[in-house]
Amino acid sequence: MIFIPRFNYTNLLVNHLGNIEAAKAVIEILPLPPDTTLRLRHDAFQRSTRSSTRIEGNPLDDLAVLRAISTTERTGSDAEQEVRNYWRGLDRIEEFVEAKIPISEAFIQELHSLVIVRSRGRRGSRSQYRTTECPVVDTTTRQIDYAPPEPVDVPKLMRELVEWLSSNTAQQMPPPIRAAIVTHRFLSIHPFDDGNGRTGRLLATTELWRSGYRMRGFFSFEEYFSSDRELYYQNLQMGLPVNFYDGRHDPEHTPWILYFVKTMAQAAIELQQKATSLYQGATPENPPWESLSRLQQQILTRLMARVIDKAENPFMINPTDVSEWFGVSDKTAREWLKEWLQSGFVNPILSGSGQRVRSYNLSQKWLEAFFQNNGSQFLK
């Protein structure tokens, strides 16, 4: 079978698309204080992480999520590991989008490996598609809510999905519609034994960001799905039969697309209102950290979590931190830190009689940039 999604452009759908575009245009040009842009970026990552994992039943509250993100303990609960994994997935999407390459099966498998890994995992590893039946069962009634396609069909279905996503037909669609379709189809295929929901939402984020709908890194829509999980699941189901082959293999996607785009519009409008309230009425300037590499920008966002959590020595970084945050070996972490030392991003902290370097501090230059324009409010 060839995947050709079916849907209609309704007046309401077009109206929601217009609202997204209008809000996006305002958000992207508003001059904001540099410290505010970093805070908004951190908040978006935290809301996405908290909300997407909460949909799957993660019990951590806002403070617990913040602490799980800001620490680098190699022990902890499964719930803490889950939110660390999701944040790491968002970091990976940033790097992927920067490379400006199409979404592939290999990338989707890598995203999934980040979602389900226990401990730091290995950067670049990929999950294999499921080889067993994997029905979605209601935890209360124990009845089957959804029977995905047979394992033997999964590779072909995933290949067709990725081929469609790269096709001229798909690329000519408004990105929010394209993101809605690829998410629903992925979740219908249910290609992995576990973690499909989180991976599907990360996949939606990837398609939106690579299509220019990142809105300066401030945009988060998962919280709107999480606020009414029953409505979210109802719209995913679209009243279709339980078995994939009884109708879900070729559904009419309009109801789901309308829900997805309406949710995006709500999130974009509220973000526009927030950005407008923070508008500083000056000529827009790029925040100083835009000159940093993507990894260094991600380090600043991690440090922001520590500052908000009022952690002790929030700007001290050691190889273990880098290793845990990015899923790399200790050797690679040390090499990155040495490169950042040479570029002036960090300064060494000398210890012991041999004056060995075991950890680093954010350099004075970037500390000042971090707290410029009343950024000291975060220490209160």
Annotated domain spans of the chain: 11-277, 293-379
Judge whether 11-277 and 293-379 match in fold.
no
pLDDT of residue 376: 41
pLDDT of residue 372: 64
pLDDT of residue 123: 66
Instruction: Decide yes or no: CATH 3.30.70.2740 for domain 11-277.
Output: no
Q: Find the helix packing angle between 196-210 and 78-99, rounded to 10°.
A: 30
pLDDT of residue 335: 92
The answer to whether residues 360 and 341 touch, using CB atoms and an 8 Å cutoff, is yes
C-alpha angle with apex 280: 365 to 269, nearest 5 degrees? 110
Tokens describing residue 98:
């920067």
Question: How many CB atoms neighbour CB 213 within 10 A?
Answer: 20
Q: Which residues, 6+ apart, have CB-to-CB distance to 265 below 8 Å?
A: 16, 17, 19, 20, 23
- Cα–Cα distance between 176 and 259 in angstroms, integer? 11
Note the pTM of the prediction, 2 decimals.
0.85
Residue of 99, 91, 102 lying closest to 41 (CA atoms): 91
What is 293-379's CATH topology? Arc Repressor Mutant, subunit A (1.10.10)
The answer to whether residues 222 and 201 touch, using CB atoms and an 8 Å cutoff, is yes
Tokens describing residue 362:
């954010």
E-assigned strand segments in the chain:
136-137, 144-146, 316-317, 346-351, 356-362
Q: Can you say whether residue 310 is alpha, beta or left, with left for phi > 0 and alpha for psi between -120 and 50 degrees?
A: left
Q: Rounded to an integer, what is the distance from CA 89 to the centroid of its chain?
A: 6
pLDDT of residue 379: 37
Mean pLDDT split into 10-residue runs, the chain, 380 residues: 88 94 85 73 84 88 82 75 89 90 94 82 81 82 87 96 94 95 96 94 93 83 85 90 90 95 91 79 66 86 84 88 85 91 90 74 86 46
The answer to whether residues 304 and 39 touch, using CB atoms and an 8 Å cutoff, is yes
